[in-house]
Amino acid sequence: MKCHRNPIIPGFNPDPTIAFKDGRYYLATSTFEYFPGVPIYTSVDLVDWTLIGHALNRRSQLDMRTVECSGGIYAPSLRYNERRKRWYMTAALVLKRSKMAPHDTTPNPTGFYVWSDDINDETRWSDPIYYDVTGIDQDLFFDEGNGKIWLSWATGIPDYVAPKGCYNLAVWTVEIDLKTGDSVGEPQLIRQNTSFGNHVSEGPHVYKRNGYYYLMTAEGGTETEHSEWIFRSKAGPRGPWEDCPHNPLIYNGQDKHVMQTGHMDMVEGGDGQWWAVFLAVRNQKGVLSHLGRETFLAPVEWVEGWPVVNGGRKVSLQGVVGPPRSPNTQSWTFRFTNDLTKKGWYHLRTPLKAYHRVENGHLLLKCGPHALSQDEAVAMLLQKQTTFNGVWRVEFAFSPVQMEEEAGIAVWWSKWAYCSVSIRGGKNKAELVFRKPAEHGDGFEESVWDAPSGTVTIEIKAEPSRYSFYLLSAGARTPLGMMSAHLLVRTRPWDSKFTGTFLGLFAQGYGGFGTNNLARFKSVEWQGVLGED
């Protein structure tokens, strides 16, 4: 019998959190600097997932116009509370990560929650309620035994200096007033990792089962030492905690195919079977995955009061018998309609104003004042890449009227790492430009030709190790250039390491001057292969 295929939600979908209600599973993931924030997926079988909206879908909820790469929304937690008949999503907003000077300080991440009485209608999510404590990876636990609500999160220990090569990040909890977000009493440290990986402890989730409180944490950092640990207590969500005898629950280490397993959440289905979802990456011959951190699935069994994940084995691309196996191919043609974000299109940061519209099945993008090189709300729409192997085809037309005015398509990771084909205003005529990161150094390289007139069709062939770009015209397929995939995931100090690869459609003015000139995108096609059957 065939097993389900991992990942269950491929592409950039890290930090999964899951809940079960009325025969359906609901799952949310991190979005970082992309808007709208926190996609909500639903499924009845844990394999076939449908995007139904986003918890953070308007500027009053999420204003991150100039957030840095890999800033934004971190690690949501999704819960349904039976007593209140409401859904709750809690997360953190990171606005700034870098320092202007060695003696500079960065603002702490801000934690908050939003609620909804109808998870299927994204307009019903409330505006944020903010907490009194700062940090990342917030989790809400509703103790139905006494009605108390506990917030757990990760932040540093004041005045603690971590050993060299390690980080000061530990797990805390505090009781809160749900109506205001105010703390009730003093925060308490409940988990400090002093021995595994880089000593990070983060991503807490608290559960209650058969009289025990369980604290589950991601340990060792989100790189190769990423793992998941669990502890239990009879006393309550503040501990004291007993270590699980078979910690870590999951840890793949330097595996050949799947690495960085961790940041896990668990749920009990309607049939009593428990499941775990967690992030992992599909490394490519020792190179970091340019698709980013994806959502994986494994079964959970309870043995002597402790969860055993995936039978205690390493996580692989082949899951278990039970859930159906997803199709091997993934193909679609997108004709543009007004509900773009419900179809998986994202903005880069929170837009101040509308820079696009849909007209007669075309996406019209106005040349915005911000360039791809800036930490701003660029005039750009993006769709996640979900398979290593595939072909994109994009039809668009653009006639620049100003020097350096530019519109086109990009394989996008961040402003530091992308590859684009565009039409740009030249000195005397329009130019067709192929731009990619330099193999050596930190800049970009360009190849320039005279731009063809009318509608242009660009094909991008994606492979695990590279992207190849072509101009399609009059039956001809003309190569434009190639980019090695490893250029997207270099680990320079400023690189964006928490996200993944998108296909981006963009239009930009020059020198801070936006224009009313429009780029017209007719269609986007994708034909992808998920993996071997």
Q: What is the per-residue pLDDT for 140?
A: 98
Per-residue pLDDT tens over the stretch 383-410? 999 999 999 999 999 999 999 999 999 9
Do the beta carbons of residue 462 and residue 389 sit within 8 Å?
yes
Do the beta carbons of residue 70 and residue 498 sit within 8 Å?
yes
Which of residues 90 and 427 earns the better pLDDT score? 90
51's enclosing H/E stretch is strand 50-56
Residue 488 three-state SS: helix
Do the domains at 16-312 and 332-529 have one common CATH topology?
Answer: no
**Could you give the CA distance from residue 361 to residue 346 in angstroms, rounded to a whole number?**
18
**Could you give the CA distance from residue 514 to residue 5 in angstroms, rounded to a whole number?**
45
- Looking up tokens 């360009």 gives 446
**Active-site pick, 33, 122, 202, 228:** 202
Per-residue pLDDT tens over the stretch 156-185? 999 999 999 999 999 999 999 999 999 999
Task: Determine whether 442 is an active site residue.
Answer: no
Q: What is the per-residue pLDDT for 70?
A: 92
With 90 as the cut, is the pLDDT of residue 24 above it? yes
Which of residues 2 and 405 earns the better pLDDT score? 405
**Could you give the CA distance from residue 39 to residue 141 in angstroms, rounded to a whole number?**
21
Across residues 472-477, what is the average pLDDT?
90
> Which of 199, 107, 98, 109 shows the shortest CA–CA distance to 155?
109
With 90 as the cut, is the pLDDT of residue 55 above it? yes
Residue 330 confidence class, pLDDT cut points 50, 70, 90: confident
Contacts of 442 (CB under 8 A, 6+ apart): 416, 492
Task: Determine whether 15 is an active site residue.
Answer: yes
Percent of the chain with pLDDT over 70: 99
Residue 128 three-state SS: coil
Cis bond before residue 128 (omega within 30° of 0): no
Residue 101 confidence class, pLDDT cut points 50, 70, 90: confident
Q: Which CATH number fits domain 16-312: 1.10.580.10, 3.40.1170.10, 2.60.40.10, 2.115.10.20?
A: 2.115.10.20
**Could you give the CA distance from residue 53 to residue 176 in angstroms, rounded to a whole number?**
28
**Could you give the CA distance from residue 135 to residue 157 in angstroms, rounded to a whole number?**
11
Domain boundaries, the chain: 16-312, 332-529
Give ∠ CA 137-274-43 in degrees, rounded to 5.
Answer: 75
> Which of 28, 22, 56 shows the shortest CA–CA distance to 40?
28
Across residues 117-121, what is the average pLDDT?
98
Out of 87-96, 97-106, 278-287, give the one with best mean pLDDT: 87-96
Please report the DSSP string for 342-378 in residue order: GGTEEEES--SS--EEEETTEEEEE-BSS-TTSSS--
Residue 532 confidence class, pLDDT cut points 50, 70, 90: low
Do the beta carbons of residue 181 and residue 196 sit within 8 Å?
no
Three-state DSSP string of 312-345: HCCCCCECCCCCCCCCCEEEEEECCCCCCHHHCE
Average pLDDT over the chain, rounded to an integer: 94
With 60 as the cut, is the pLDDT of residue 533 above it? no
- Main-chain dihedrals φ then ψ at residue 311, nearest 5 degrees: 65, 20
Which of residues 66 and 247 earns the better pLDDT score? 247
Q: Which CATH class is domain 332-529?
A: mainly beta
Per-residue pLDDT tens over the stretch 300-328? 999 999 999 999 999 999 888 778 777 77
Both tokens of 226, joined, read: 């990423």
**Active-site pick, 15, 175, 406, 459:** 15
103's enclosing H/E stretch is none
Q: Which of 331-345, 440-454, 463-477 has the lowest mean pLDDT?
A: 331-345
Residue 62 confidence class, pLDDT cut points 50, 70, 90: very high
- Looking up tokens 């773009």 gives 340
Residue 416's beta-bridge partner residues? none
**Could you give the CA distance from residue 379 to residue 422 in angstroms, rounded to a whole number?**
14
Q: What is the per-residue pLDDT for 205?
A: 98
Query: 148-171 burial by CB neighbour count: b if 16+ within 10 A, else e?
Result: ebbbbbbbeeeeeebeeeebbbbb
Residue 122 three-state SS: helix
Across residues 52-75, what is the average pLDDT?
95
Residue 2 confidence class, pLDDT cut points 50, 70, 90: low
Residue 108's beta-bridge partner residues? none
